[in-house]
Every structure is written in structure tokens, then in C-alpha cells.
Chains A and B, each alone.
Chain A
Amino acid sequence: MKDSFFRSMTWMHTWVGLLVCWLLYLIFFAGTVSFFRDEITLWSKPALHDAHVPQERIGLQHQQIIAGVEYLKTVAPESNRWGIYLPSEREPWLIYAYEKPRPEGKRFGGWNDYYINPETGAPIQQPRETKGGNFFYRLHFDLHYIDVRTARWIVCFASLFMLVALISGVVIHKRIFKDMFSFRKNKGSRSWLDGHNVSSVLALPFHIMITYTGLITLIFMLFPYPAMTAYDNGVRGLFNDVLPTNVRTQSSAESAPLVAVETVLDQVYTNWPNADITQFAIRDPNTASATITVRAATGTQVRDQTPTLLFNGVDGSLMAKTRDELSATEVFYDSLTALHTGRLANPLLRWLYFLCGVAGCVMIATGCIMWAKRIRERMKKDQVPSFGLKLVEGLNLATLMGLPVATSAFFIANRLLPITTAERADKEILVFFVTWLAVALFALFKRAKQQWIMLAWVNCIACISISLVNALTTNGNLISYVLNSQWALFSFDLMCLISAVLFIVQAKKLRTQLHAPTAPFRANRAGKSNLREQNT
């Protein structure tokens, strides 16, 4: 492409990066937020705020499962699927769920959840209808409003570009260790470059790991060919081979009584004496084809495949169980997925994941700002900016500042939308996208520094209003969270306030730059180009 390897890599890094940077920002942003998916869901459901981990969490499980099956037997004997979700450290509540009747032509009718106080077994006030953290989790790889498969291909494509940009970024980076510690302030695009370098280099292993493993999570869609070559029935064949519990029995309409839960539980505790059961699911209950799946927690192991036992739901015999020992390759493959999802992370590691994700967002943001800055600096004084430059600047403003505003709007909507609103969860998401669209329209018309300042203030106010609205509409606030040691909720509020402060800093910073238009570097640059003109 260009004459030297170094220059061709620089060229590729710039263009591959620019093409997908806004989509990547969305993916990184949503992914980073998703590390706290359960905590955000908790925040979104004030009815669950008072739930706390029971003292005898594991000891209670036996009783909870038996009560759950009894409940589901009376409430939803006709349902196709039952599920009992047991309280965990991060989600300390008990859910009895059953599948709602399937609409015509659909393969799944959606879950009907029933929340129970795990200690007393009595129902609690049912939480509002909201997607909470799951919205960001889905947004991260399914986007929204478009077909899931198409969305995943788009995300794969962007991730591939990300990986390529990362690798070429390392190649073009000659002084990788020196740049780790150099940050030159107030030097125009030079500072943006340094910001780009610092955020990339510091968290580089994370960036490469998360992009690579992210592609691995969607690998069976992207590259089904190895499985298709080795197995006659492709990916399904592989799954059947690797996951012994991936057995799907043919549904039967013939009714048969469900086996006594005790029989199944006795076998569970024989197989896993100290089991921390997370899920007890029954497929086709009360029919001849009933199966019972029992899953246990993986804990902090680097393992994504949950230990599973599969039972026949009529005679209670053990049909399949996951292997205790995985082969080296299985461990390798499984750990790739486990590293991406970070379910293994303890709170400290989770925050580290989060901070690295933020560094990723900063890396992408500084990258796309820098591109526009460079072009601006190279422009002559009376030159009219090209359409491409205007487009990039508009997209920068709309994405980098619009996405945080939309996120704040989503959280505020969660508190302010009436509980009885029809399709409430979808309305919250609508608020998210409408806000974002409004910012995008705003950026379409004006995108000078003044507008950046304005949006920084909007963001700041939005962040503060989240905790404010939360304090006004629920009976908790920053101080009461500390007193009751509700650390997840406290961290959420604190994050809102920290972001608000950061947006104030940004606005102040931009304002001082606005009043001092001749930064030394820029004057220098301009002087050079004048000289060059004189020479030619």
C-alpha cells in the first residue's frame, strides 16, 4: 500500500480504526457497563433493594427447591418450562419462574417471574418491569431494533477491525514503554495522541484479551467450518460431543406425573456433596418427556461451562452429567469465554475489569477525536472543512457525548416512568434511543467546542439527577446505603457523582481552551506551514 511496512501499518491503523470507532465505542461502553449487570439490575428494581444474602444460603437451598416445585405445580401445571433460581452472593433473591403460553409461531413465550424472600419463603413486593443491566448486556452484542443475527455479524466485523487496529497499533508504536509514562498537556492533537497511547498501552493486554475472547464467544456463528468438517451434523454434533448434558429429548404430549423432588435432590447431593445450586429447571413438566436440569455455581474458577446434572423427570434417573475433568483444549477454549464474561471476578477484579473497559472507551474516544483534530490543524485558515471532516466531527460529538446522556436518561426513566405503564421495559429503552437521537440531531447542526461544553454540562446534570431522582423516589440514598452497607447501590450512586465531577472537569477544561485559542503547539504548527508555503 505505502512504501514501507511501518507506513502501511500506520495507514491501516488510522483507517481501520476510523471506520468502526463509533460502533466500537458503543460496544465497549455497553460491555464495560455490563460487568456490573447484576448490580445495575438490582438498582433498577427498588423492590429488591432490601434483599440481603441469607446466613444459611446453601443450607436453605434444599427446602427452597421443594417449595418452588410445589408452587409451580399449583400455579402453572400447563407451562412448558419451570425454573427455580436460587439466591447467590450477587443476586440474593429467590425466583420461581414459569414460561408464559407461547404465542402462535413463537418458540418461546417469555418468563413469568415470582420473587420470594429467601429466608421466610414469603412472596415480596414484585419488582417493576425493567431490563436493567440486561439491556446493556444485550446491547453489547445484539445491538437493538435490528435482527439479532445481522447485529452479531456487524459486531463481529467491528471487533475484527478492533483486533487488527490493536495489533497494527502495537507495530507502529516504536517507543511503547517510554510512551507509557509520557503525557504532554495542552499540546493540541499531540496531547490527544498521548492520551490515546496511555489508555491503549496501560491496558493493552486487556484490550487484546477482551477483543479476542469476544470474537471467540460468537465463533460458532463466525467460523462454523471446523465443526462442519469434523462432524456430520456440524456444530450440533460438536456440542453433543463436548457437552454431555446437551441432550434434547423429543417433547411428548402424553402426561405423566413428575418424580418426587426428593429423589432427584438426593442424587444431586450424592454427586456434589457441597453443591451451591444456582438453578433447578424443569422442561415439559407433567409429561412423559419431562427432564430436570440442575446447575451449580462455578465459583471463582476460570471456567464458563457450569457443572450440570440432567435427570429424567418421570423416573428420576440420572441421564447425563458434565465431566469433572476437562481436556487441555477444552480448558483452553472454555477459559477464553470465561475471561470475557468475567463471571469469575471477585469485587476487586470486577472493578479492575471495569477500569480497563473505561480505558478502552478512552482509547477509542481519543482515537476518533485525534483524527478530526489532525485534519483541522492541517487545514489552512480560509479552507472550508470537507464533508468527511464534518461527518466525523458530528459523529464524534453525537456518540461520545450522546451515549452517556442516553444512559443517564435510561436510568432516570427507570425511576420516573409509572410502574403500571404498558410494556414498561420497552418504553425505558425507547427513552434511551430517543435521547440519543436528540443529541445526534443537535450534533448535526452544530458541533463546535461550544457544543461540547454544553453537552458536558447536560451530562453532568443528568448524572446528578440520577442520584437525586433515586433519593426522591425510593427510600434509599447515598448516606442510607452506607449506613445499611448496601455497597452495590452505594457504588452505583457514587459512580454517578464521580461521572458528574468528571464532566465538570471536562467542561472547565474546554472553556479554558476556548479562551486561549493559541496553544503553543498550534502556533508552532501554523508557523511551520507558513514557512513551507513561502518556500514553495
Chain B
Amino acid sequence: MHAQSQKNSQLLMLVAKISQYYQSYAYQLAVVSRFFAAIVGGYLFTSVFTALMSITLPLKKSDAVLLSISLTIFIYSCVFIWVFAVKSLKTIWITILLTSSACGLSIALLKGWL
């Protein structure tokens, strides 16, 4: 019985160790994923959003493009910071993907690609 309890505690320790490893790993994974969301997600959103802006702004064509181009960096950095401010990664990804595809769809409709 004594031997068994020792075995149990060993097993428990192993489980604890694995979960500990997983936790530290999960943290790193979360960090990488957040940076990925900020850089790639932010880039994706900014691209489609400013592209939509360039064809919807009620200005002359060249003015609309130049204005949206001037604002790209502002929008990108806002998204970047927002990604790090929001707690849930899921919320972030869903928001980015939904808004980006909405913008993309609007562009496709406006340009008559569909």
C-alpha cells in the first residue's frame, strides 16, 4: 500500500510537471499568437479597410487614395495596440476576420467583381 501511494504521488508529480510545461508553453504560444494577430491580422484589416476607404471617400479619386494612404499607419497602429489591450484572443481573431471580410465583400460588390 505504501508502495502504491508512492507510485500515485510519482504519477501526480508527473502530471503536474506536464501541465506545468504545457502552461509555460501555452503562455509562449499565446504570446506568439498575439503578435501574429497584431502584425498579420492588423495588416490584413488595414489593407482591406483602407482599400475600401479609397473607393468610398467622397473625394476626387487621387485625393481619396492619398488620404487613405496617409491614414494607413494610424489605423495599423491602433489595431496593433487594440490587439494587446483586449483579453481574449478569440474575440480578437473573430473581430479581425469578420470586419476584414466585410470590407473585402463591400469592395468586391462596389467594384463589381462578383
Q: Is B24 an interface residue (CB 8 A)?
A: no
Task: Please measure, in the bound complex, the distance between the C-alpha atom of A229 and the C-alpha atom of B104, giving whole angstroms.
Answer: 11
Interface contact A327-B51, CB-CB below 8 Å? no
Interface contact B80-A219, CB-CB below 8 Å? no
Interface contact B84-A241, CB-CB below 8 Å? no
Task: Please measure, in the bound complex, the distance between the C-alpha atom of A291 and the C-alpha atom of B108, giving whole angstroms.
Answer: 41
**Given that A12-B84, A226-B51 are contacting pairs, would A219 and B69 also be in contact in the complex, using a CB cutoff of 8 Å?**
yes
* Number of chain A residues whose Cβ lies closer than 8 Å to a Cβ of chain B: 37
Contact with B along A223-259 (1 / 0, CB 8 A): 1011111110000001001100000000000000000
Q: Is B29 an interface residue (CB 8 A)?
A: no
Interface contact A327-B63, CB-CB below 8 Å? yes
Chain B residue nearest in CB terms to A11: B84
- Give the number of residue pairs across the A-B interface with Cβ within 8 Å: 104
Interface contact B67-A332, CB-CB below 8 Å? yes
In A198-236, which residues have CB < 8 Å from any B CB?
A: 212, 215-216, 219-220, 222-223, 225-231
Interface of A is mostly: helix
Contact with B along A330-348 (1 / 0, CB 8 A): 1011001000000000000
In A306-336, which residues have CB < 8 Å from any B CB?
A: 327-330, 332-333, 336
Q: Is A296 an interface residue (CB 8 A)?
A: no
Interface contact B53-A226, CB-CB below 8 Å? yes
Q: Is A5 an interface residue (CB 8 A)?
A: yes
The smallest beta-carbon distance between A230 and chain B, in angstroms, is 5
Interface contact A225-B73, CB-CB below 8 Å? no
Interface contact A227-B69, CB-CB below 8 Å? yes
In B22-54, which residues have CB < 8 Å from any A CB?
A: 30-31, 34, 39, 46-48, 50-54
Q: Is A163 an interface residue (CB 8 A)?
A: yes
Q: Which residues of B come within 8 Å of A, CB atoms?
A: 30-31, 34, 39, 46-48, 50-55, 59-70, 72-74, 76-77, 80-81, 84-85, 87, 107, 111
A–B Cβ pairs within 8 angstroms, 21 of them: A1-B31, A8-B84, A12-B81, A12-B84, A164-B77, A164-B81, A219-B69, A223-B47, A223-B72, A225-B50, A226-B51, A226-B72, A229-B54, A229-B107, A230-B65, A238-B65, A241-B62, A242-B66, A327-B60, A327-B63, A332-B67
Q: Which residues of A come within 8 Å of B, CB atoms?
A: 1, 5, 8-9, 11-12, 157, 160, 163-164, 167-168, 171, 212, 215-216, 219-220, 222-223, 225-231, 238, 241-242, 327-330, 332-333, 336
